[in-house]
Structure 1
């Protein structure tokens, strides 16, 4: 399981949010939670003070025994190409407990990344990796499966090999879709998603599966993970995949909620 926070610049200080975030972290850690994810309805690094505040709450919890071995920041990576930004914030975030930064990747070509994100230029992935690692943090790749982008096993294999060459050896993938898990015009075909999973089983060694689907694979000593972006909580199951703290302080078992955003 995991605990995740939903950050947004306009949220400001919210005592209910802070209180519920602390409670969710402690509850999740008590019942075996192993991963804390920091994300946002916008780009989380655009509001570094909110991220610092959330990590301060986690740091307090960790000192009281509610520790997570994996504390991950999910980001588009754009600001991490700025050495000044990294120098200003990354050491503080690491000291508060952050240990990995997961960069969302629609395309391994930086020009295509820039087009998708609607910016003039996207920083070189090698620059992002160098900036992050120089501050003692790990870099992971979130390789998004998107129609017209990485949407079949041939493109997936090529993208994975390119990312590994650039220095990212831990790559998670999921098909984009609606927050409730249903398909959109951007979701790859079911056939191609099946073919990607078949490629993984054929070319990599499965380390363990996820009860909600997918699993973790060893690919030439690199970690590849295939998962579903969201799963609806099933009270009949004997597990809880995640606890989510939304910006208004609401705590839920799933990202599936009116108003939640999912990257296209």
Structure 2
């Protein structure tokens, strides 16, 4: 096994597992049995942040087995732990909250929580987008309606927090180069200048019924290389592109840990207090 030279980021599962949507391909449901903070959770989160920072990490992502904003106090506690680490030198320039965005359409919710979260270090809200059409977005979330994305963007930015789009690549949704280009242009018109995409897969990283075809995914990659300028190539695959001033990122949601590599894409902090080198725990335990 090679010595680890770089731990790029930390992802932390937070919240009580409740959700205000019901995606057919939810990646978090299998984690809901542990949807409570173990007595060791915040100690594990602190250790993971400090370990990643020691190995040149630069990013913290907060997510959940449900929708993390449905348990805002848990988000606050996680950010308080990060703030403690940052005050001790384990600072990350990129701290993101991954969300379906629904509650951010509520200005009162944003007024109550976002200013505090920004003060604790939150830099970006990353909103999952399955379709640029609000009716199709609602159907993807199994809801009768989805709020205005314009309202979400406005409310988040009003609090001084950045907004990123997580444009999911899903069969019968955004699943080919033409649809990807259309969606990117629509999000750019809404002022979203940072868009990350990955194909929807099973929790273990294998292809599932919602995964676009290999051919169509190749078409999206080809479109990026043809129309945008590569800024940075990820060592685990994919990369970051400059498309007329908009940052487009293509990656995979999960990367299986390889002990023969000298890098770790992310440390994952689970709610049972386990820290792993990947979302795929087996063979990837780091701390417990």
TM range (shorter): over 0.9
Structure 2 distance, partners of 1:37, 1:71, is 6
Query: How many pairs does the alignment contain?
Result: 258
Residue 202 of structure 2 corresponds to 178
Supply the RMSD in Å over aligned alpha carbons: 1.0
Q: CA deviation at 1:256?
A: 1.2
Matches within 5 A, 1:92-107: 92-107=116-131
Q: CA deviation at 1:8?
A: 3.1
Structure 1 stretches lacking a partner, 5+ long: 259-264
Structure 2 distance, partners of 1:4, 1:61, is 15
Please give the per-residue CA displacement for 1:148-174, whole angstroms capped at 9, x wherever unaligned: 000000000000000000111100000
Structure 2 distance, partners of 1:110, 1:253, is 36
Matches within 5 A, 1:14-25: 14-25=38-49
TM superposition score normalised by structure 1: 0.96
Structure 2 stretches lacking a partner, 5+ long: 1-7, 18-34, 283-288
| Kept in 2: contact 1:39–1:75 (CA 8 A) | yes
Structure 2 distance, partners of 1:4, 1:211, is 18
Structure 2 distance, partners of 1:106, 1:13, is 29
Please give the per-residue CA displacement for 1:185-219, whole angstroms capped at 9, x wherever unaligned: 10000000001000000000000100111100000
Q: CA deviation at 1:257?
A: 3.7
Question: Does the alignment pair 1:2 with 2:9?
Answer: yes
Question: Does the alignment pair 1:118 with 2:118?
Answer: no
Q: CA deviation at 1:17?
A: 0.5
Residue 87 of structure 2 corresponds to 63
Q: CA deviation at 1:180?
A: 1.6
| Kept in 1: contact 2:36–2:271 (CA 8 A) | no
Please give the per-residue CA displacement for 1:84-140, whole angstroms capped at 9, x wherever unaligned: 100110000000000100000000111111111112211111100000000000000
Q: CA deviation at 1:3?
A: 0.5
TM superposition score normalised by structure 2: 0.88
Q: CA deviation at 1:222?
A: 0.5
Matches within 5 A, 1:29-68: 29-68=53-92
